[in-house]
Amino acid sequence: MRIEAVIFDLDGVIVDTAVFHYQAWQQLAHEFGFEFSEKHNERLKGVSRLESLEILLEVGGIVIHSDEEKEKLATKKNNWYRELILKMTPGDLLPGAKEFLQELKSEGYKIAIGSSSKNAATILERIGYLDYFDAIVDGNKIKNSKPDPEVFLKAAAELGIKPENCVVFEDAQAGIEAAIRAGMKTIGVGSPETLSEADVVIPNLKEAGIAIFSKLI
């Protein structure tokens, strides 16, 4: 087994847009007249926009049957979120991301984004790293969100690399499960307790480097 490609989740790994998502969901909750706490927000990690909306509505005790109305609410939230991410700069890269991406590029690895976010390209453009990635597979290209392996399998296909020769960096349990189901190696970024199924767990990308791939064999 040889690692030829690295696939990154975006939010929580390369950048931290969680605070922007939270602010936008909070704004929507306030329109309905209830509080959406940070504890509630934890449940949204790694799930799609519409699934996140369902959780928010459940928390608020709000019942909406119309799919069209739900789509309108999700779009409203996303418009608020986009206003926030358009203010992002290269300074929003998480610690260690810049150095690790540069190392991967210099060593000839293929690099991709595998994210359920529909704003991945916008975020990468704002932080000045769009050209670093050989493939970007996000919520605009997939039908099934994590833990379904679709996003990672599509990324591998776009890179032209077999799944078994890919390693995924993820900060969410659903993402680790998706990568495992795709037949890929996994490196969790965050807490060992939360990401216990990953092959290796590191606190952030400052602890990454291609030397870490030796632990996957």
Domains of the chain in sequence order: 5-16+90-216 (3.40.50.1000), 18-85 (1.10.150.240)
Q: What is the pLDDT of residue 62?
A: 95
Nearest-CA neighbor of 175 among 102, 136, 117? 117
Report residue 160 as tokens.
């032209």
Which class for 77: exposed (0-12), middle (13-18), buried (19 or more C-beta within 10 A)? buried
* pTM of the full structure: 0.83
The dihedral of CA 159, 155, 197, 207: what is its sign? positive
Lookup result for tokens 């890269």: 93
For 11, the 3-state DSSP assignment is strand
Options 9, 134, 138, 171, the catalytic residue: 9
Options 11, 134, 138, 171, the catalytic residue: 11
On average, the pLDDT of the chain sits at 94
Q: What is the pLDDT of residue 1?
A: 75
Q: Which residue ranges of the chain lie beneath pLDDT 50?
A: none
9 catalytic per annotation: yes
92 catalytic per annotation: no
Q: What is the pLDDT of residue 92?
A: 92
